[in-house]
Amino acid sequence: MIRSFDWRDVGLVKTLADQGVCLDSETGLTQGNHPLQHALLAYLMPMAGAPTLIWRADGNHHAVFGQLRHRPGEEHARVLYIAPVAENAVDGWQRVIERLAVEAGERRAQNLIAEVNEKSPEFESLRQAGFAIYARQTLWQLPAGPPPEALGAPGVPLRPATRADAIGVSTLYCNVVPRLVQQVEPGPQHIDRGYVLQDSGELMAYLDVRRGPQGIWVEPFLHPEADDLSEAVLQACLRLLPGRKEKPLYVCVRRYQNWLQEVVKRVGFAPLGTQAVMVKRLAVRLAEPVLKPLPVVEGQVPTPITSVRCRSTASQRRAAPPSHHGPARRSGWPTHAKANHR
């Protein structure tokens, strides 16, 4: 049986919290894993926290819980946390995943996203639940502390982004990110939290920065023609980021920018691992026009005006009075009249 979290499940979530897996890397690395806190917050405030679903087998000998991250109005949702891991969850793991997809659809999300190691049991469970790979990414980490010794003098005029850069960032995103990924993930929404580099009036780089109490997340978008500036861009970012000495820094490099892997390594980052970014489609947009019905006048469909041809009979000619405004009509001539039949 699967149901929503309530106060009776506090002990269960607290017990299983350390046995699960986070499927949203950004949240896990920057915010930390706090399943019980998210569950209680969503229970008390339905529009906050992370909706939590509980599955229990017959006799309550086995249990699984899963959490969803979705912001109101967004077209995509993310699988946040599931416990225990798939190999210890019997058959409840996949049932929870499928129910999370239903929950996301009820919240009007069109895609459900999960990030997972391709060699893990969770990957196979997600495939059986209808998820498919649409991107791959490598996560890199730079521990908290002073900048690397190899960091040279500033080489590029990287600056904080403003709302005026929105069009340039959108154009860069469309030129760098494959169409398949664009259909699942929208471009950066909060432009002013990142950094940009312009060259001759054209935006060549944008670094999307997201901060949390546990770390800082950076996702770079660099124009292919700016590959010779990529190392200088990352070095400038390390200087500009506030609080970088107190928190670890994480860089997410997608496979469609694979040439950045060596650049990130030279700057001083260490690899954390490679993940498959998977999606389950919850809805499909239809690009068909909506046909409107014809207007109805007084409850009836209007009939077009037509021309009616009439020929007067002999009795009608005899009964018709003579005209005083002109010569009498010659008998046998056809007459024409127009009528609007309703």
- Residues 281-304: pLDDT tens digits? 997 555 566 666 666 655 555 555
Q: How confident is the model at residue 327 (pLDDT cuts 50, 70, 90)?
A: very low
Q: Can you give the pLDDT at residue 332?
A: 47
Helix then strand then coil, in percent of the chain rounded to 5, is 35, 30, 40
- Report the alpha-carbon distance of residue 79 to residue 87 in Å, rounded: 18
Question: Tokens in use for 164?
Answer: 């005026």
- Report the alpha-carbon distance of residue 342 to residue 17 in Å, rounded: 73
* 10-23 average pLDDT score: 93
Dihedral of alpha carbons 143, 146, 149, 155, sign:
positive
Give the CATH class of 1-130: alpha beta
Q: Can you give the pLDDT at residue 178?
A: 94
pLDDT in tens, 99-128: 999 999 998 999 999 999 999 999 999 999
* pLDDT over 80 at 89, yes or no: no
Q: Which residue has the tokens 């946390």?
A: 81
Q: Can you give the pLDDT at residue 227?
A: 84
In contact, 35 and 42? CB cutoff 8 Å: no
Instruction: Mean pLDDT check: name the lowest of 74-83, 116-125, 184-193, 274-283.
Output: 184-193
Q: Can you give the pLDDT at residue 324?
A: 47
Q: Can you give the pLDDT at residue 296?
A: 60
Closest CA to 81 of 95, 64, 98: 64
| Reported pTM | 0.79
* pLDDT over 90 at 265, yes or no: yes
Say if residue 193 is exposed, middle or buried (CB neighbours under 10 Å; 0-12, 13-18, 19+).
middle
Helices (H), the chain: 10-16, 25-30, 35-44, 92-106, 121-128, 166-176, 179-184, 230-240, 260-267, 314-319
Q: Is 71 helix (H, G, I), strand (E, B) or coil?
A: coil
Comparing 91 with 126, the larger pLDDT belongs to: 126
207-226: string of b/e by CB count within 10 Å (b at 16+)?
bbbbbeeebbbbbbbbbeeb
Q: Domain segments of the chain: what residues?
A: 1-130, 306-339
- Report the alpha-carbon distance of residue 113 to residue 86 in Å, rounded: 17
* pLDDT over 80 at 146, yes or no: no
What is the DSSP annotation of 261-289? HHHHHHHT-EEEEEEEEEEEE------PP
Q: Can you give the pLDDT at residue 298?
A: 55
Q: Is 2 helix (H, G, I), strand (E, B) or coil?
A: strand
- Report the alpha-carbon distance of residue 181 to residue 183 in Å, rounded: 5
* pLDDT over 80 at 156, yes or no: yes
Q: Can you give the pLDDT at residue 286?
A: 54
Comparing 7 with 306, the larger pLDDT belongs to: 7
Helices (H), 118-158: 121-128
Q: Can you give the pLDDT at residue 314?
A: 45
Comparing 80 with 49, the larger pLDDT belongs to: 80
59-79: string of b/e by CB count within 10 Å (b at 16+)?
eeeebbbbbbbbeeebebbbb
Q: What does pLDDT average to over the chain?
A: 83
